[in-house]
């Protein structure tokens, strides 16, 4: 059994070391505080504290629990902190903290705890819950090149960062090397808002665990640190075991509640009906408008791939593109869109629409004539928007004069927000839209933080934020009826019951100095699903000029992760690199992409369907194959396997999926710890085998399935 050993020294200047076996893996050293916390007074002024602010420290150990009391505060004399760490029956270290402000003038806003310092090793890997799963080998390079804030941020916190529940979809992280690892899990069934990250700090890597308490003095859950051996999938198993035993938000399995069109695995085809690939420059109707003008392209791809399609429309709104919260009616009116819906459904296809979430647009930067400033005043919307600690109002996502809009965020706890969302979602559902990504811009479906004193919710962010967003989604789901809802990025854990199909953004991992891993699918694929996404702003991180195979790799990676395949179209029905790139830019080579999608679609609707549609991802066997290099703009190139491999379980059966995204055959060897019986299909060496290993060749732009006897 893996277990952790905690050794203390000192009483007034407490230090400690954490060992995994005989190897030290983490520290709490003098001058490196075990905690920080921030208080807010009744008018919104912050006061930041650390252990150094307390003149008296008392440590007491009784049985398997050590308590440390901090008193004698030099700034607020009556303020005290009580921390505790215990060793449970499984050898895990479980951390708790209570903060007593000592005055009614202040409440606890957040606490960063435990601030453990991880020892760095030459082969260290850091697993972060960002962008559906990010694995980083050099956090110092990531810190220099990070494209999002990863330390403690001021209001507003939400956006594209390591905020949970949001772009960080699950509440754990891990660090490991060949000699062992540390999994850090917030055992929090209430899903309090928090930041989950790691940052360089001196000669070590420090955990960032910023918990928003809602003003409560006691953090009502433990932070559990566990030792483990292996890689990121082994850490994911620790979290999955906790999640499936303790999470009250976890919905029923997706199998059985998935609509038929989604179960049929459509290829998602993303395109705008106005403009030419970017959110600027005058959005006049293009060749895909009116809506039915796209049918020849849809028909061609359906026939080529022998697969249904989900057409996901952009710039379709009759209001203005990306101008939340209003989206309805569609450009050209309901009748024009209804005609297209009927034609698509008659062909066995589906239709989806993008929305823009629960922000409020004062003025569109894309369509300058669109403004809601008068309605803002008439409807007194100022009462409904999120406020900061001092009453400030601001929206982080897509909100700047050179962006998409200017405006604010609507508070998820307000009835006004729910009524607007219900009306907009219900309008699309009534017309028969199959999929509505209404919660685009709410990254991971996150609720923007709100400190308003007159909204009927607590004045400081806490678990009520998550509960309010969950309630809002429940009302949206009721309004949606049969229409499937989704968001931008993978929906965070408390929201996967409503957001059934989501626009995944694994390419954001490259912007951190790391690389994507299928952590989201590993944990949640049985409960929700996603498509490979519109890849917005991919060119900011990936050098596609020197990585001509990137889309092929991305499609293979997403297919092996159980996600629907998606493409973004430019003019002439050609597949483009991603969304938000001009149509004038050169497109990737078409035929390899078209061939790969056709081959993979046949597998997903055929022999691999039981595993990839709603199966349970499990740990892969050891894989040996060639590598290829993805060239990046903000860091060194990244080596990726030439064959993408995943393992699955469904109804008592197990399988391994192998995908070759290259245009030449690729040899591959798989090794198991114990002998297995299996059958290989999809390659010249197809047939049964027995043993600890199998060597095979994966054909170009295609896949191989290995089914194992259980």
Tokens of 57: 């420290």
The band of 154, judged by pLDDT with boundaries at 50, 70 and 90, is low
The band of 202, judged by pLDDT with boundaries at 50, 70 and 90, is confident
Of the given ranges (22-26, 94-98, 658-662), which has the lowest mean pLDDT?
A: 22-26
pLDDT above 90 for 204: no
In the chain, the percentage of residues whose pLDDT exceeds 70 is 96
pLDDT of residue 324: 95
Of the given ranges (295-299, 354-358, 605-609, 682-686), which has the lowest mean pLDDT?
A: 682-686
Q: Which residue has the higher pLDDT, 372 or 686?
A: 372
pLDDT above 50 for 148: no
Q: Which residue has the higher pLDDT, 550 or 398?
A: 550
**Average pLDDT, integer, range 261-284:** 93
How far is C-alpha 657 from the geometric centre of its chain's CA atoms? 23
pLDDT of residue 286: 97
Return all residues near 449 (Cβ < 8 A) that are at least 6 apart. Answer: 155, 156, 157, 158, 193, 212, 386, 461, 465
In the chain, the percentage of residues whose pLDDT exceeds 90 is 84
Of the given ranges (197-201, 445-449, 652-656, 701-705), which has the lowest mean pLDDT?
A: 197-201
Average pLDDT, the chain: 93
- Measured CA to CA in angstroms, residue 161 lies from 86, 164, 259, 396, 535 at distances of 31, 9, 32, 11, 17
pLDDT above 80 for 282: no
Q: How far, in Å, CA of 31 to CA of 51, rounded? A: 9
Q: Which residue in the block uniquely carries the two structure tokens 């060597």?
A: 695
Task: Judge whether 267 and 601 are in contact, CB under 8 Å.
Answer: yes
pLDDT of residue 168: 95
**Average pLDDT, integer, range 523-549:** 95
Task: Judge whether 168 and 130 are in contact, CB under 8 Å.
Answer: yes
pLDDT of residue 237: 98
pLDDT above 90 for 32: no
pLDDT of residue 281: 74
pLDDT of residue 30: 66
Q: How far, in Å, CA of 688 to CA of 454, rounded? A: 68
Burial class (CB in 10 A: 0-12, 13-18, 19+), 225: buried
pLDDT digits (tens, 9 = 90+) for 230-253: 999 999 999 999 999 999 999 999
| Rounded-to-10 torsion of CA 588, 592, 595, 597 | -50
pLDDT of residue 634: 80
**Average pLDDT, integer, range 266-284:** 92
Which candidate, 104, 100, 110, places its Cα nearest to that of 48?
110
pLDDT digits (tens, 9 = 90+) for 441-500: 999 999 999 999 999 999 999 999 999 999 999 999 999 999 999 999 999 999 999 999
The band of 509, judged by pLDDT with boundaries at 50, 70 and 90, is very high
Q: How far, in Å, CA of 246 to CA of 622, rounded? A: 31
pLDDT of residue 421: 98
pLDDT above 60 for 150: no
Return all residues near 278 (Cβ < 8 A) that are at least 6 apart. Answer: 580, 581, 582
How far is C-alpha 528 from the geometric centre of its chain's CA atoms? 12
Task: Judge whether 507 and 123 are in contact, CB under 8 Å.
Answer: no
pLDDT of residue 33: 83
pLDDT of residue 152: 46
**Average pLDDT, integer, range 598-606:** 98
């Amino acid at each position: 059994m893996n277990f952790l050993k905690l050794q203390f020294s000192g009483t007034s200047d407490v230090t400690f070391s954490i060992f995994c076996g005989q190897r030290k893996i983490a520290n709490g050293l003098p001058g490196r505080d075990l905690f920080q916390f921030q208080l807010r007074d009744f008018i919104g002024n912050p006061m930041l504290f650390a252990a150094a602010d307390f003149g008296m420290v008392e440590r007491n150990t009784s049985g398997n629990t050590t308590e440390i009391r901090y008193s004698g505060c030099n700034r607020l004399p009556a303020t005290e902190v009580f921390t505790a760490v215990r060793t449970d029956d499984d050898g895990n270290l479980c951390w708790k903290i209570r903060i007593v402000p000592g005055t009614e003038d202040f409440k606890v806003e957040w606490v960063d705890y435990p601030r453990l310092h991880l020892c760095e090793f030459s082969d260290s890997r850091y697993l972060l819950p960002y962008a559906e799963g990010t694995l980083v080998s050099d956090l110092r390079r990531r810190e220099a090149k990070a494209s999002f804030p990863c330390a403690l941020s001021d209001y507003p916190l939400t956006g594209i960062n390591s905020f949970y529940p949001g772009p960080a979809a699950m509440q754990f992280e891990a660090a490991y090397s060949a000699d062992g690892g540390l999994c850090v899990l917030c055992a929090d069934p209430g899903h309090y808002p928090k930041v989950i990250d790691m940052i360089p700090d001196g000669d070590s890597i420090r955990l960032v665990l910023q918990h928003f308490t809602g003003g409560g003095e006691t953090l009502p859950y433990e932070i559990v640190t566990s030792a483990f051996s292996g890689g990121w999938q082994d850490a994911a198993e620790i979290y999955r075991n906790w999640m499936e035993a303790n999470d009250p938000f976890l919905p029923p399995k997706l199998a059985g509640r998935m609509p038929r069109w989604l179960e049929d695995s459509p290829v998602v085809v993303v395109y705008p009906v106005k403009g030419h690939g970017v959110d600027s420059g005058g959005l006049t109707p293009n060749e895909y408008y009116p809506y039915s003008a796209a049918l020849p392209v849809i028909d061609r791809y359906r026939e080529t791939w022998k697969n249904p399609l989900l057409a996901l429309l952009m710039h379709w709104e009759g209001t203005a593109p990306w101008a939340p919260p209003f989206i309805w009616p569609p450009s050209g009116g309901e009748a024009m869109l209804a005609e297209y819906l009927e034609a698509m459904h008659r062909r066995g296809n589906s239709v989806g629409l993008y929305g823009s979430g629960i922000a409020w647009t004062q003025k569109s930067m894309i369509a300058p004539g669109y403004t809601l400033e008068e309605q803002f005043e008439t409807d007194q919307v100022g009462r409904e928007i999120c406020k900061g600690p001092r009453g400030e109002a601001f929206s982080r996502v897509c909100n700047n004069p050179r962006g998409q809009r200017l405006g604010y965020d609507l508070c998820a706890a307000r009835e006004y927000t729910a009524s607007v969302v219900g009306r907009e979602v219900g309008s699309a559902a009534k017309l028969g839209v199959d999929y509505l990504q209404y919660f685009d811009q709410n990254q991971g479906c996150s609720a923007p933080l709100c400190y308003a004193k007159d909204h009927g919710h607590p004045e400081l962010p806490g678990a009520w934020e998550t509960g309010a967003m969950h309630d809002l989604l429940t009302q949206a789901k009721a309004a949606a009826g049969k229409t499937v809802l989704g968001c931008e990025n993978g929906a965070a854990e408390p929201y996967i019951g409503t957001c059934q199909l989501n626009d995944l953004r694994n390419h954001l991992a490259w912007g951190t100095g790391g690389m994507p891993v299928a952590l989201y699918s590993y944990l949640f694929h049985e409960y929700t699903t996603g498509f490979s996404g519109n890849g917005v702003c991919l060119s900011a991180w990936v050098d596609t000029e020197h990585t001509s195979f990137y889309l092929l790799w991305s499609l293979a990676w997403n297919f092996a992760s159980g996600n629907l395949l998606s493409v973004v179209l430019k003019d002439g029905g050609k597949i483009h690199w991603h969304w938000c790139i001009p149509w004038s830019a050169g497109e990737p080579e078409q035929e390899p992409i078209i061939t790969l999608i056709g081959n993979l679609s046949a597998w997903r609707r055929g022999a691999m369907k039981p595993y990839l549609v709603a199966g349970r991802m499990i740990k892969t066997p050891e894989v040996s194959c060639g590598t290829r290099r993805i060239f990046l703009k903000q860091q060194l190139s990244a080596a990726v396997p030439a064959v993408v491999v995943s393992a699955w379980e469904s109804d008592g059966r197990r399988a391994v999926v192998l995908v070759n995204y290259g245009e030449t055959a690729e040899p591959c060897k798989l090794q198991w710890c114990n002998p297995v019986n299996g059958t290989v299909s999809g390659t010249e060496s197809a047939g049964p085998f027995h043993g600890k290993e199998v060597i095979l060749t994966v054909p170009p732009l295609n896949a191989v399935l290995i089914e194992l006897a259980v």
